[in-house]
């Protein structure tokens, strides 16, 4: 996770959403206040783990004396039935934190698991898998962390984290050359010691104008493998290339084999199903 992500604030807000004004009235009604519970979080499918630290903070927030034992680490691929973590503490507190902890752990592990599948699909090609900014509001730092647990690489974190000139920028600016030159004039670009200027192109004939104007990297948008190969040949290694748009698990290998440097995939976070993880009485 990024150093500026406030995990404590996230946990506090998430628990407040779930507890409401009255707290866990079910547990309060049937479980003695001093009852203790030991439970194990375990995977029910083959998954890549992400979010154990976050889950632990949820339990610790409601029971500061909780005892936690982790059996695996984030980023590990585990088999069905693998014990991930054991928690021991006040029963009411642990049950009140259970859903928030599991929701987050399942979501992040789902992203890590899907990311790992994409990374494995392009193994040996030399291409690097990137995520995107297509994240759930408020969860970007956690979701991008999960991508790294699955072996992927983070693209820009925020709008101020990189210069990415896309089709709408180009249209408003009056063309690729004008858009790129404006960014150069503003002080961006590797040649000036600033942030790299990444430019989206969807046709091969846009490549030379973008490069001549000062693009440091080309985002090859929605190109089929044949067009990607032609683009890579034309670029000739002058700048890195990034394939993007509609990339799926069943198509990413062919895309990677065109010789592109990077492949960005929004589905890593948009389409990842939650991992099946349960918390069971031990």
Question: What are the catalytic residues?
Answer: 99, 134, 166, 200, 221
Given the DSSP bridges, would you call strands 83-90 and 36-43 parallel, antiparallel or unpaired? antiparallel
47, containing H or E segment: strand 47-48
CB atoms within 10 A of CB 169: 17
Classify residue 127 as left (phi > 0), alpha (psi -120 to 50) or beta: beta
Residue 245 exposed, middle or buried by CB count within 10 Å (0-12, 13-18, 19+): middle
CB atoms within 10 A of CB 66: 19
Cα distance from N-terminal residue to C-terminal residue, the chain? 31
The residue count of the chain comes to 282
129, containing H or E segment: strand 128-130
Quick one: which of 142, 98, 149, 137 has its CA closest to 7?
Answer: 142
CA distance to 68, 126, 128, 255, per residue, from 244 (Å): 41, 16, 12, 10
39 in Cβ contact with 281 (< 8 Å): yes
Q: How far apart are CA 185 and CA 178, in angstroms?
A: 10
């Amino acid at each position: 996770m990024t150093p500026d992500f406030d995990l404590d604030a996230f946990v506090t807000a998430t628990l407040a959403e779930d507890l409401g004004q009255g707290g866990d009235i079910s547990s309060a009604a049937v479980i003695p206040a001093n009852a203790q519970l030991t439970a194990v979080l375990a995977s029910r499918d083959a998954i890549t783990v992400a979010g154990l630290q976050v889950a632990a903070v949820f339990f610790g927030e409601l029971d500061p004396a909780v005892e936690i034992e982790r059996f695996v680490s984030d980023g590990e691929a585990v088999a069905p039935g693998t014990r991930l973590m054991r928690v021991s503490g006040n029963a009411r507190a642990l049950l009140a934190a259970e859903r928030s902890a599991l929701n987050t752990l399942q979501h992040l592990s789902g992203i890590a698991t899907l990311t790992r599948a994409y990374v494995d699909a392009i193994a040996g090609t030399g291409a690097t898998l990137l995520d995107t900014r297509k994240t759930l509001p408020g969860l970007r730092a956690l979701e991008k962390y999960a991508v790294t647990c699955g072996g992927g690489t983070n693209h820009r974190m925020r709008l101020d984290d990189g210069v990415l000139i896309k089709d709408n920028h180009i249209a408003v600016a009056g063309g690729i050359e004008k858009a790129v030159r404006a960014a150069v004039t503003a002080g961006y670009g590797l040649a000036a010691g600033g942030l790299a200027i990444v430019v989206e192109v969807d046709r091969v004939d846009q490549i030379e104008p973008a490069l001549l104007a000062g693009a440091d990297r080309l985002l090859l948008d929605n190109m089929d493998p044949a067009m990607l190969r032609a683009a890579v040949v034309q670029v000739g290694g002058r700048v890195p290339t990034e394939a993007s748009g509609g990339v799926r698990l069943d198509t990413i290998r062919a895309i990677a084999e065109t010789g592109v440097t990077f492949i960005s995939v929004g589905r890593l976070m948009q389409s990842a199903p939650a991992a099946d993880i349960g918390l069971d009485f031990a």
